[in-house]
Amino acid sequence: LLAVYSLDGLLVFGLLLVCTCAYLRKVPRLRAWLLSERRGVWGVCHKAAVIGTRLHVAVAVSCLFMAFYVLVGK
């Protein structure tokens, strides 16, 4: 729980949110059910999915750097 309040914990949480929402956007039934709303909590998931699909190269590189940091840097 304390890792969420650190900067690296917030970065890991954000990357996981973007990656998960982008993956869920590729599943047709879940896309219509979860990511159709553009406001509120589900709107955040929709925006994260859009970021994950449009910037997929940058998100993938960020995930690799964060994984290296978590495994070796800490």
Residue type for position 1: L
pLDDT of amino acid 54? 92
* Rounded CA separation 74/69 (Å): 7
How far from 31 is each of 49, 64, 67, CA to CA, in Å?
10, 26, 27
Confidence of residue 62 (pLDDT cuts 50, 70, 90): very high
The gap between the terminal CA atoms of the chain, to the nearest Å, is 17
Tens digits of per-residue pLDDT, 15-51? 999 999 888 888 887 777 776 777 777 888 888 988 9
Which residue range is the domain that position 48 belongs to? Answer: 1-73
Confidence of residue 58 (pLDDT cuts 50, 70, 90): very high
> What is the tally of structural domains in the chain?
1
pLDDT of amino acid 26? 86
pLDDT of amino acid 65? 93
Tens digits of per-residue pLDDT, 2-12? 555 788 888 88
